[in-house]
Amino acid sequence: MITTAAFIGQIFVTALVVVVAIFVVVVLIRSIRIVPQAYAGVVERLGRYRKTLQPGLNILVPFIDRMRPLVDMREQVVSFPPQPVITEDNLVVSIDTVIYFQVTDARAATYEIANYLAGVEQLTVTTLRNVVGGLNLEEALTSRDNINGQLRVVLDEATGKWGLRVNRVELKAIDPPLSIQDSMEKQMRAERDRRAVILTSEGSKQSQILEAEGARQSAILKAEGEAQAQILKAEAEAKAILTVFEAIHQGNPDAKLLAYQYLQTLPKLAEGDANKLWIVPSELTEALRGIGQGFFAGGADSAPPRAPKA
């Protein structure tokens, strides 16, 4: 029969084993740390920085080492609320900014600044006011790339000691006052109307130029066609005359035939309403004399005798 002391001893041993098992489990839990990919863990030993844990399985000294909250090493995108900024011409504009940055040193991001997100936001606002404050409204609206570049350089240099790298800075919107927006809209409408008038005038001018050029080319082509036609007509008439001349020359005509041809040519001299004066060629008298000789038999020998001179 088990005595009371033995029973109490068994209970004590069992409790001790349970306590030891629990202690071992707690030690294992506190010793093993699994860091996810794209994260880093800062380990402190007795309150001082010990090392930075890399992704994967890591072993710590229980109750001595302590790991701080994990640091996200991925590129982060932070959008800040609109900030009022005064330009060089004393106009208040509202500017929205977006920053793309990445933690490159988990130790510096943990110990060099208490809250690097708040620090980046305040630094961005200050730098933005300094950069835009030296520009007028028109320059601020048309120089976004320049402003983005200046902001990125200043922020990257200032946040380097915090273990951050600023990759890009973008201005989402630059909103002028409502009164200025109305004025700008009217100016843009007037500019568009002016450009429309200019384009219409240019189109009309070009159309007139093309029409005049077409008319000129048409007149030139018409004149060239008429000249070519006259040249061809003259060449045809010259060839016809040459052919007739050669035919007559080869036929060896006599004076009677030539006189007859002269008589057939006379009616053509009277063609046309503008013919008011006839020019009788000197050969016509010779032709008429030949005709007269042809009507008398014997030619010159059978001609009627002339009256004797007194």
pLDDT category at 257 given cuts 50, 70, 90 is low
pLDDT at 163: 92
Identify the pLDDT of residue 236.
82
Does residue 21 surpass a pLDDT of 80? Answer: yes
Tens of pLDDT, residues 67-98? 999 999 999 999 888 888 888 888 888 888 99
Mean pLDDT in residue range 217-242: 84
Position 305 scores a pLDDT of 44
For position 300, what pLDDT does the model report?
A: 42
Nearest CA to 169 out of 73, 78, 74, 72 is that of: 78
Query: Which residue from 116, 115, 117, 111 is spatially nearest to 47, judged by alpha carbons?
Result: 111
Torsion angle in degrees (nearest 10) through CA of 178, 180, 183, 188: -100
The reported pLDDT for the residue numbered 41 is: 92
Return left, alpha or beta for 167; rule: phi > 0 is left, psi -120 to 50 is alpha, else beta: alpha
Are the CB atoms for 72 and 119 separated by under 8 Å? Answer: no
Query: Is the model more confident about 171 or about 29?
Result: 171
Q: Mean pLDDT in the chain?
A: 80
| Highest mean pLDDT: which range of 6-20, 164-178, 231-245 | 164-178
Q: What is the mean pLDDT of residues 48-64?
A: 90
Is 5 a residue whose pLDDT tops 80? no
pLDDT score of 301: 45
209 vs 265, residue with greater confidence = 209
pLDDT, mean of residues 149-178: 88
In a 13 Å sphere around the CA of 235, the CA atoms on its Cβ side amount to 6
The model carries a pTM of 0.54
Give the confidence band of 39 by pLDDT, cuts at 50, 70, 90.
Answer: very high
The CA angle 167-170-173, to the nearest 5 degrees, is: 170
What is the mean predicted confidence (pLDDT) over 294-299? Answer: 48
Q: Higher model confidence: residue 28 or residue 131?
A: 131
> Does position 297 have pLDDT exceeding 60, yes or no?
no
Element containing residue 277 per DSSP (H, E): none
Q: What ranges do the domains of the chain cover?
A: 19-71, 74-176
The CATH T-level fold of domain 74-176 is Tetrahydropterin Synthase; Chain A (3.30.479)
Eight-state DSSP code of residue 190: H
Mean pLDDT of 117-146: 87
Q: Give the pLDDT band of residue 99 (cuts 50, 70, 90).
A: very high
